[in-house]
A and B are shown apart, each in its own frame.
Chain A
């Protein structure tokens, strides 16, 4: 009897020990092999091209440097359209400086997939395959739409997407224009496919103020130039965290989600540093940081956390179908421009 108990304990201890050893090894492997880490440190730097907001990415770089202070990340930030032109032109001239290219518009990135080297993070199997458009490109950041309002100005706040069409909010709402990029195109597609063919017309009838991108719109919301509107959660959450008079919610009809496409060009001069940086960003630690501090979602199958106010039991995330995402863009954006009276 005692023997059996002993054996059990020994077995459990053995398993536990194994598990411990395994988890320690996993910890070491989480960001890459010791060889990769050593090679990355030897390179010492990498150049990071991104379409995301510079300030947001500055925080990501800072968090990465807490883990790997030896590697300097130099960032070039440009709006989506300009970034693509720069990457294409540099690549064609054989002068692509980027070690990592990070873009919000997957439709623009997919035709360029061959430019990128084979790469997969150590936790590749944990990622939702639907979020990937090519084996070389990974959803480093996954952004989600929400609705935000200024609590000083709105006494009777909206609760749904449909509320944004109410005449009582005439001239109080703001909208980011459909042609601004991949994330907005996702939202616009969601509105037409889920909220109805006439949603744009009804919303446009309230005469919203149009913004070229989410950042100036979130600033206008804080200042009170507009009172409410749809915003990427990560564009407005940091302001709420700092104490701005803002309330954010995820509407019940659904929350459109846009994964980025991020890869390492074949020509990268610092490929190991680039891999280590992406490995960290895509790791549980990196994704958790982006969720908690920046208000992103994740494309991991099992999310390690959720942003504040996001209840996974209630919020229905909505991913666009990628073939439609590519196919419908030109005509639907043109329709949107017409409906909202936006000159293109």
Chain B
């Protein structure tokens, strides 16, 4: 009788506990949805309104009287839009292909082989991330212009009859590919590192060659990481303005971003049309995200379980010098050549280079561009502002992305699918249009958000939420549930489990994601353009000012300053976290 009573009371208690858990879960989801509503839904609605009307919602007031699909249909019927869309898909598709080959190759070389100087190759593999797209574009224009490019000047000097032309679709695809390979690298390297090698050993014992194992066991196992990296690099390319702006402009090769930029830049500006084009971009991206979900759903990719192991490294024998050579070539193409081009442009008075002799003429070089950028008081201010925005974005955005990622992948609360969908939305909106949407949405909010550094930080947090959530989720997906369940069994609550199990295990991923967020925020141009004011000028906007001001020398000089600064900051963060986090940023990407 006693036993029965106590059992009954236990049942009631656990029922009431689960009810309480439900209530907390509901409250938590409401809280997240409210944040997402403010950061994502409200601006997207403003954008939709813009696409479907011909008015500025802030100036003319939000009225549905002018609502019509005319604007949208005009855009759909415009052959230039179709051409820009086709160019975009070709450039990003080709670029992604190259990025996957390079990223996968180098993550394998670094994590799984005994190639000499692996750390060095690892560092080289992520270096392109530091270069803002505009800088990459400018550097490759200096190198690869069909008329004045340094590569062609060199060919002529050596007496070769070769010519390269980077002002073309091929140039665009190539530059996209080499600059966005780090995204694939970041995902695949951490997946390879965290993978249980017993499956590979099994393949080998069964008589499969190292090569066959790679393609039948290793790569299929890290498929979520490959697909995520591929998708992310494709989507990031979709939104890049700087590279196609510089390389595509001379031959009038337009992609959607440059087309949207043009629309907002013309006099009078056509924002409503730009918003409509942005909707097309959103649809394309949403399709891709849907496709990825479809491909990955229903399969288990858990490879991190509660078992200790060390990733194996393959002895390549003499071939290891070949893989080392590949690393050197990559470093040369992605880092050394563009840096040399920028250094020449930054220190040279004028960029007219008749021949190789003139290139090495010391009289042509001076520090004048550096003097002149530091003579401008905006330069130091923009550096300070950019770092501040970057830090706020990384910390707040990282925490929010963790909360979202955990809720989506590790809880059963109702409404988590909605959180997933909404937090992925911003991926589809190009930065430039997002800037206008945020301006429209947030300028009227009382409390003076407009004109502060926070409006920029909020825009970046919203804009890069999908990137951060995706990169964090990969590290969640690899942690087996049994580890969390063990903590629950031992009596830990949800927060306790997160603190003692999930956070420590996912730490490399969290740190890498925050670093990525910091870099992305410092480089971000499109959404800054409308949100900065005289007090909150950031580096990327000033860089565009220098570029648009037609000053290649100052643009290059400021690029070098920016790149060195990013390198120092990230190197510093890496060094500081070395004791705390065993997996440094350079290793995880």
Q: Which residues of A are interface residues toward B (Cβ below 8 A)?
A: 47-48, 53-56, 58, 74-82, 84-86, 88-93, 95, 97, 105, 108, 150, 152, 179-182, 185, 209-220, 222-225, 235, 239, 242-245, 341-344
Contact = CB atoms under 8 A, between A and B. Distances in A.
A225 B148 contact: yes
Contact of B349 (A85, A95, A223, A243): A243
Nearest to A103: B267
Given A82-B264, A89-B59, A181-B267, 14 more contacts: A76-B533, A81-B267, A81-B268, A82-B529, A85-B269, A93-B58, A95-B450, A185-B267, A209-B250, A210-B249, A210-B252, A212-B265, A342-B252, A344-B266
Interface string B528-572: 011011110100000001111111101000000000000000000
Given A88-B59, A97-B451, A343-B252, A245 B440 contact: no
A203 to B, nearest CB: 16
Contacts of B266: 81, 179-180, 344
Interface stretch (B171-179, B304-312, B350-358): B350-358
A216 B545 contact: no
A150 B352 CA distance: 10
Given A74-B534, A225-B148, A245 B350 contact: yes
B77 to A, nearest CB: 14
Contacts of B254: 343
Contacts of A212: 249, 262, 265
Contacts of A215: 548-551
Contacts of B349: 242-243
B551 A55 contact: yes
6 contacts: A76-B532, A81-B266, A88-B58, A89-B439, A220-B250, A341-B252
B434 to A, nearest CB: 14
A222 B532 CA distance: 31
Most chain B beta-carbon contacts within 10 A, residue among A56, A88, A222: A222
A228 B174 CA distance: 30
A81 B550 contact: no
Contacts of B547: 216
Considering the complex of A and B, which 7 residue pairs feature the smallest CB-CB distances, nearest first? A215-B550, A81-B269, A74-B534, A343-B80, A219-B550, A92-B59, A179-B266
B147 interface: yes
Nearest to A343: B80
B479 interface: no
A78 to B, nearest CB: 7
B552 A223 contact: yes
Most chain B beta-carbon contacts within 10 A, residue among A55, A209, A211, A341: A55
B146 to A, nearest CB: 9
Contacts of B250: 209, 220, 225
B352 A108 contact: no
A219 B84 CA distance: 26
Interface in B335-364: 349-352, 354
A90 B267 contact: no
Given A89-B443, A93-B450, A80 B56 contact: no
Contacts of A181: 267
A223 B550 contact: no
A147 B469 CA distance: 53
A95 B443 contact: yes
A218 B550 contact: yes
Most chain B beta-carbon contacts within 10 A, residue among A80, A179, A211, A217: A179
Interface in B348-386: 349-352, 354, 376, 378
Contacts of B550: 53, 214-219, 235
A294 to B, nearest CB: 13
B271 interface: yes
A131 B82 CA distance: 42
B88 interface: no
Interface majority SS (helix, strand, loop, mixed), chain B: loop
A82 B269 contact: yes
A181 B269 CA distance: 10
Contacts of B529: 78, 82
A3 to B, nearest CB: 63
Contacts of A53: 548-550
B264 A343 contact: no
A150 B351 CA distance: 12
B393 interface: no
A80 B439 CA distance: 17
A79 B548 contact: yes
A104 to B, nearest CB: 8
B487 to A, nearest CB: 49
Given A82-B265, A89-B439, A223 B148 contact: yes
B147 A224 contact: yes
B552 A219 contact: yes
Given A93-B58, A108-B267, A82 B530 contact: yes
Interface string B129-165: 0000000000000000101100000000000000000
Contacts of A242: 349-350
B350 A213 contact: no
Contacts of A76: 532-534, 537
A93 B265 CA distance: 22
Contacts of A97: 451, 533-534
A240 to B, nearest CB: 11
Most chain B beta-carbon contacts within 10 A, residue among A58, A211, A223: A223
Nearest to B536: A76
Contacts of A86: 439, 530
A219 B148 CA distance: 12
A108 B148 contact: no
B352 A244 contact: yes
Contacts of A48: 534
Interface string B257-296: 0010010111111010000000000000000000000000
B145 to A, nearest CB: 6
B373 to A, nearest CB: 10
B220 interface: no
B244 to A, nearest CB: 13
Interface in B285-328: none
Interface in B230-251: 249-250
Contacts of B537: 76
Contacts of A152: 352, 354
A90 B351 CA distance: 40
Nearest to B531: A86
A88 B451 CA distance: 15
B485 interface: no
A54 B542 CA distance: 9
